[in-house]
């Protein structure tokens, strides 16, 4: 296990900061309405890469503005080169401090934006505990997993336009609803709005045609926390036979900083033991998951937050590399900026469940918050926050919080004046 790399940025040398020199995550920021620029988090500061490029300190031939897509498209050699050069510029023994320090900005003085232009969004259903819990609720324990689940990572194509950066409010959606005792469907606001605790993998290197698991792993630029907000009552009525649609189209929130695959390298771990041998094109090729502790908190409006779940990314049955490789088997081209959601990450115990659907067992067992209030699903004004960190020897690799507050539904969007 690597140890803390020391920086001349003093706040980067704490064991608790999420942004030590070992991390160097990538984001997009602005200051007081300025243009959006690419930045790197170091301690409590943001290093302005657009300014470094303009000053000739970095020379990558990209302006480092708006998003990381142009840089990601340059490929892995450029990714490695930038990380190496940034590490040297920010290291405690750097000879370039005087040139670099003027381009640091305090994080508290910045606005953070989506770090990439999302090309496409695909969400998976690849957490075994989540799939077992949901399947047991709706089909019974003996039929919990669909017949194909142990053979392929199941997924669906989502909406890139619905992807939001952390801190963006989410509006309770309307949709067509039909309960088990209803004679006919009706149109109304979702009453069973939920979260899904996930990780998101960002494709950096495009591909055209099938690729191997090893190639897929090399094509992933980095990872973010991801909350796939879900309207469970809309989903229950619409999902057969083609799966989720409008239930998942309201919003998908991601954390503002992309933690690179290279920064997470010390935390690689293997997927769980296989119950059924995978076909050759999906077989594991070394440790391709990561040991990342995950947490969910819920704060009612004006009240303190309660931790409602803790789990780990190592609970996934399929890695992001296997998901990406499977996605390409049909010849599907993958683009720079494609985002892959892992699927809900739950663990074996009740406190490890990554969605309120599971925590409350479909609303039958409401959870109690530290404030004494109870929840089966999200109520208006609730703020949900996802946190993630990997712990090294004297340092922490963090992602920045992935947070969103639920606003009340609009008045009937289809009501017409008489």
Query: Closest by alpha carbon to 285, among 271, 301, 298?
Result: 271
Collapsed DSSP state (helix, strand, coil) of residue 157: strand
Query: Closest by alpha carbon to 9, among 94, 84, 67?
Result: 94
Whole-number Å distance between alpha carbons of 163 and 153: 22
From residue 405, alpha-carbon distances to 28, 194, 300 in Å are 21, 12, 9
Whole-number Å distance between alpha carbons of 67 and 24: 16
Residues 6+ apart with CB under 8 A from 216: 320, 321, 322, 324, 325, 328
Q: Say whether 327 is catalytic.
A: no
Is 309 exposed, middle or buried, given 0-12, 13-18 or 19+ CB atoms closer than 10 A?
buried
From residue 202, alpha-carbon distances to 140, 309, 318, 341, 375 in Å are 35, 25, 16, 9, 33
Q: Which of 103, 113, 130, 326 is catalytic?
A: 130
Cite the active site residues.
130
């Amino acid at each position: 296990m690597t140890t803390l790399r020391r920086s001349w940025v003093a706040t980067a040398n704490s064991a608790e900061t999420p942004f030590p020199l070992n991390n160097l995550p990538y984001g997009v920021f602005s200051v007081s309405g300025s243009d959006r620029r690419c930045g790197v988090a170091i301690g409590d500061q943001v290093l302005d890469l657009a300014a470094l490029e303009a000053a000739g300190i970095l020379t990558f031939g990209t302006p480092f503005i708006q998003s990381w897509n142009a840089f990601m498209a340059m490929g892995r050699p450029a990714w490695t080169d930038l990380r190496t050069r940034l590490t040297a510029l920010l290291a405690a023994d750097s000879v370039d401090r005087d040139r670099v320090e003027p381009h640091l900005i305090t994080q508290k003085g910045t606005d953070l934006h989506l770090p990439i232009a999302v090309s496409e969004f695909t969400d998976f259903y690849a957490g075994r505990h989540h799939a077992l819990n949901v399947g047991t609720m709706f089909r019974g324990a003996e039929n919990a997993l669909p017949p194909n689940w142990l053979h392929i990572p199941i997924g669906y194509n989502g909406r890139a336009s619905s992807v939001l950066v952390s801190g963006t409010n989410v509006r309770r959606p309307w949709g067509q609803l039909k309960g088990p005792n209803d004679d006919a469907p009706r149109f109304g606001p979702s009453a069973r709005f939920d979260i899904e605790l996930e990780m998101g993998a960002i494709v950096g290197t495009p591909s055209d045609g099938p690729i191997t698991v090893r190639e897929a792993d090399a094509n992933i630029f980095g990872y973010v926390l991801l909350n796939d907000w879900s309207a469970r009552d809309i989903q229950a009525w619409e999902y057969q036979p083609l799966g989720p649609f409008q239930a998942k189209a309201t919003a998908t929130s991601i954390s503002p900083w992309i933690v690179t695959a290279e920064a997470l390298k010390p935390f690689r771990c293997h997927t769980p033991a296989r119950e059924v041998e995978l076909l050759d094109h999906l077989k594991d090729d070394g440790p391709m998951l990561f040991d990342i502790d995950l947490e969910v908190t819920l704060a009612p409006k004006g009240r303190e937050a309660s931790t409602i779940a803790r789990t780990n990314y190592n609970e996934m049955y399929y890695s992001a590399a296997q998901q990406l490789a499977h996605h390409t088997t049909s010849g599907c081209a993958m683009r720079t900026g494609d985002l892959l959601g892992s699927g809900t990450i739950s663990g074996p115990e009740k406190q490890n469940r990554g969605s309120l659907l599971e925590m409350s067992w479909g609303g039958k067992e409401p959870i109690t918050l530290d404030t004494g209030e109870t929840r089966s699903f999200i109520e208006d004004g609730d703020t949900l926050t996802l946190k993630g960190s990997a712990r090294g020897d004297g340092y922490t690799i963090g992602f920045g919080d992935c947070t969103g507050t639920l606003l009340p539904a609009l008045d009937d969007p289809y009501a017409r004046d008489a």
